């Protein structure tokens, strides 16, 4: 017992440091403390758990709905719709043409913009234009070809006055050939329109129409030229406000050709001999620059932009007129005065062709050197959509080619020659007197 007490006493006398556990680092203590901190377990019943889960799902759905509502919604827009207030480039270009130097203006014909040579031409072309243009020989054929059109659109005044004398063989063959051409043009134009063909396909229709009249034996002074790939010389172009030349191209021109006309050939030969290196037209092409131009045609496929076609024709007409002005001044010791321009420089004719529709324009050089392009003329609209419409177009083309050969060429002959330049009015009146 004494031994036990002695041993207990010896143990209690030892220092606390001898029995204290070794000190741990702060990091170890933190880790131990963290490890021992256990989140108390919540005892949740199954019903409460289901309620909480449902509430959380509802909150998530609401958040998603709010998120979708706050997003920008995009609406589908038809490609046929245009943004309101947008301005087409053609409108801008037309304004720039009017602001150019010299200006080129396109105007609807009215009493406020009267030009003598333009009025003379319009009167010649419009006189009884829609009367007696269908040969009586075609009456029954038109009825059989399209009874509905014949009943609704064709009137008795459109037919030529019946001729009691029997047609000779030559006349009959000529009429048969004309009918075959009308049928061919009508079929080709219809296919182009219905099958949405491009401008190249419509160009064949235009060429066929022009060929039917221009290459007739009665009109030996004109030829058809395709000028789609040819450029106008910069000297005959208007300059826009930025200092750039406004260049446009036409598709076809009717030119005075000397191959089968001795008179034209002689005039060209004398002009080239007296004016080395000078050109007869505003074109840069080796051939067409050496021929005087009579008429221009600008073509667009069905549905093409009429405004763009108008501008292209107006620019081309402007170049033709400024070239004529230059040719007149070449013969003079001093340039024309303003009061002389209107009497010495004739107006020029041309068409815009949009699919079936042919619209006539007349352009004139004004005293201030600007250009006035007037059209279309409602009374001179023509079309290839019907057979009688094609015959009406032929009638207008014959009148235009007659104006070119009987009025415009004599005026050009004086301008290119050495004699007195009497002006277009003299030749217009002379030709009108011969017709009447």
Q: How far apart are the first and last CA of the chain?
A: 169
State how far the Cα of 315 lies from the Cα of 308, in Å rounded to an integer. 11
Residue 35 lies in a domain: no
317-332 pLDDT tens trace = 999 999 999 999 998 8
Per-residue pLDDT of the chain (436 residues; tens, 9 = 90+): 555 555 555 555 544 444 444 445 444 444 444 444 445 454 545 454 544 455 555 545 544 444 545 555 555 544 444 455 556 777 788 888 999 999 999 999 887 777 888 888 999 999 999 999 999 999 999 999 999 999 999 999 999 987 767 888 999 999 999 999 999 999 999 999 999 999 999 999 999 999 999 987 666 799 999 999 999 999 999 999 888 898 888 999 999 998 889 999 999 999 999 999 999 999 999 999 999 999 999 999 999 999 999 999 999 999 999 999 999 999 887 888 888 888 899 999 999 999 999 999 999 999 999 999 999 999 999 999 999 999 999 999 999 999 999 999 999 999 998 777 888 888 887 777 766 5
Q: Is the dihedral of CA 285, 289, 290, 293 positive or negative?
A: positive
In Å, how far from its chain's centre is CA 422? Answer: 38
> Is residue 393 domain-resident?
yes
Token couple for 205: 């229709």
Q: What is the pLDDT of residues 11-36, one digit of tens each?
A: 555 444 444 444 454 444 444 444 44
d(CA 312, CA 290): 22
The DSSP bridge partners found for residue 264 are: none
The verdict on residue 156 lying in a domain is yes
Inter-residue contact 154 to 146 (CB < 8 Å): no
Q: Which two tokens stand for residue 183?
A: 């049928």
Whether 126 maps to a domain, the answer reads yes
68 within some domain: no
C-alpha distance from residue 307 to each of 88, 106, 122, 338, 349 (Å): 10, 10, 22, 30, 18
- Is there a contact between 362 and 374 (Cβ–Cβ < 8 Å)? yes
Q: Which residue has the tokens 């030229």?
A: 225
Domain that holds residue 298: 101-435
Rounded to the nearest 10 degrees, what angle do helices 89-99 and 306-330 cross at? 20
pTM: 0.79
Taking alpha carbons only, the member of 329, 415, 309, 311 closest to residue 369 is 329
| Total number of domains constituting the chain | 1
**Would 135 be classed as within a structural domain?**
yes
């Amino acid at each position: 017992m004494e031994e036990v007490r002695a041993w207990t006493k010896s143990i209690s006398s030892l220092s606390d440091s001898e029995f204290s556990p070794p000190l741990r680092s702060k990091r170890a203590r933190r880790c131990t403390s963290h490890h021992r901190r256990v989140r108390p377990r919540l005892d949740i019943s199954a019903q409460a758990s289901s309620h909480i889960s449902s509430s959380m799902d509802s909150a998530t759905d609401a958040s998603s709905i709010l998120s979708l509502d706050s997003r920008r919604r995009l609406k589908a827009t038809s490609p046929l719709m245009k943004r309101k207030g947008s301005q087409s480039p053609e409108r801008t270009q037309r304004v720039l043409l009017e602001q150019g130097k010299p200006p080129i203006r396109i105007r609807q014909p009215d009493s406020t913009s009267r030009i003598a040579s333009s009025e003379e031409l319009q009167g010649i072309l419009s006189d009884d234009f829609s009367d007696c243009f269908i040969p009586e020989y075609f009456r029954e054929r038109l009825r059989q070809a399209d009874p509905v059109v014949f009943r609704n659109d064709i009137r008795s005044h459109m037919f030529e006055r019946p001729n009691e004398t029997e047609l000779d063989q030559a006349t009959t063959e000529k009429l048969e050939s004309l009918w075959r051409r009308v049928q061919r043009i009508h079929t080709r134009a219809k296919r182009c329109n219905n099958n949405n063909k491009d401008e190249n396909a419509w160009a064949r229709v235009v060429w066929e129409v022009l060929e039917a009249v221009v290459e007739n034996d009665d009109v030996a002074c004109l030829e058809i030229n395709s000028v789609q790939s040819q450029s106008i010389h910069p000297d005959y172009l208007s300059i826009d406000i930025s200092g750039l030349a406004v260049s446009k191209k036409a598709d076809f021109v009717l030119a005075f050709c000397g191959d089968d006309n001795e008179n034209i050939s002689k005039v060209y030969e004398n002009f080239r001999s007296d004016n080395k290196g000078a050109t007869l037209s505003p074109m840069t092409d080796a051939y067409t620059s050496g021929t005087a131009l009579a008429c221009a045609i600008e073509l667009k496929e069905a549905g093409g932009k009429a405004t763009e076609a108008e501008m292209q024709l107006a620019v081309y007409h402007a170049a033709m007129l400024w070239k004529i002005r230059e040719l007149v001044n070449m013969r003079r010791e001093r340039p024309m005065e303003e009061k002389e321009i209107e009497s010495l420089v004739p107006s020029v004719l041309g068409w815009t062709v949009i699919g079936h529709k042919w619209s006539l324009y007349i352009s004139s050089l004004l005293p201030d050197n600007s250009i006035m392009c007037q059209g279309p003329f409602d009374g001179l609209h023509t079309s290839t959509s019907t057979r009688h419409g094609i015959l009406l177009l032929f009638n207008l083309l014959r009148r235009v080619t007659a104006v070119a050969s009987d009025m415009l060429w004599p005026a050009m002959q004086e301008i290119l020659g050495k004699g007195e330049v009497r002006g277009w009015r003299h030749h217009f009146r002379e030709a009108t007197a011969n017709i009447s």
